[in-house]
Chain A
Amino acid sequence: AQKITQTQPGMFVQEKEAVTLDCTYDTSDQSYGLFWYKQPSSGEMIFLIYQGSYDEQNATEGRYSLNFQKARKSANLVISASQLGDSAMYFCAMRDLLLIIQGAQKLVFGQGTRLTINP
């Protein structure tokens, strides 16, 4: 079974600093995808970034980048120049290929990290 581990329940960072949120995963699959979501206090889940297991380069989306180290099974999210609006829960998730015929793509989530940006 696939498993995602986020070992940082909470993090406090000064505004404008870079922050790294840790994510390690466990899978026996060769083909998988890794996602990061942000959940502000309002509750909605906002997709941030995706990394495929065969992607040769680390994914980047604006201030977000994913430090993908396949051999170590880690997929850390890096936020550059943090802003007050980055304060939120952050979830790492892995795509579990389930029911391939139907094409359903289940996500397995980590426990989440609560990030607080201090002014």
Chain B
Amino acid sequence: DVKVTQSSRYLVKRTGEKVFLECVQDMDHENMFWYRQDPGLGLRLIYFSYDVKMKEKGDIPEGYSVSREKKERFSLILESASTNQTSMYLCASTRYGSGTSEQFFGPGTRLTVL
């Protein structure tokens, strides 16, 4: 059974803290993605990675960074959390060149920044 896991379902942090969101997939997928989901806006892509140590900015990368040191793990980093980063964060993965294949999603992390 394919699986994408995220380190926390719920997270509460304070403004200015450094926050790490971890995502692990067990499908040997090359491509991994971080989205944030906000009401009325759908899912928006923050960053994605197509290989170890490779990353590309998505549509809303400001205030975020990512790390991919191993193929199965993709981390999203909030260097200095702010209240406007309170959101649902979803990680996804898909295999290389998977034109018709869906992205597999993790359960999401609901982050609240106070």
Contacts and interface: CB of A to CB of B under 8 A. Distances in A.
Nearest to B104: A47
B1 interface: no
B31 A43 contact: no
B62 interface: no
B50 A43 contact: no
A25 interface: no
Contact of A104 (B9, B35, B50, B104): B50
Interface string A81-116: 000000000010101011100111111011110000
B83 interface: no
A59 to B, nearest CB: 10
A102 B50 contact: yes
Contacts of A99: 50, 56
A33 B99 contact: yes
A45 to B, nearest CB: 4
Which size class do B's interface residues fall under?
20 to 34
Counting chain A CB atoms within 10 Å of each CB, the highest count among B30, B41, B44, B50 belongs to: B50
Contacts of B88: 43
Interface of A: 4, 6, 9, 33, 35, 37, 42-45, 47, 50, 52, 91, 93, 95, 97-99, 102-107, 109-112
30 contacts: A33-B99, A33-B100, A35-B102, A37-B102, A37-B105, A42-B107, A43-B9, A43-B88, A43-B107, A44-B106, A45-B90, A50-B102, A93-B43, A97-B99, A102-B31, A102-B54, A103-B30, A103-B31, A103-B96, A103-B97, A104-B56, A105-B94, A105-B97, A105-B99, A106-B58, A107-B103, A109-B42, A109-B43, A110-B42, A112-B42
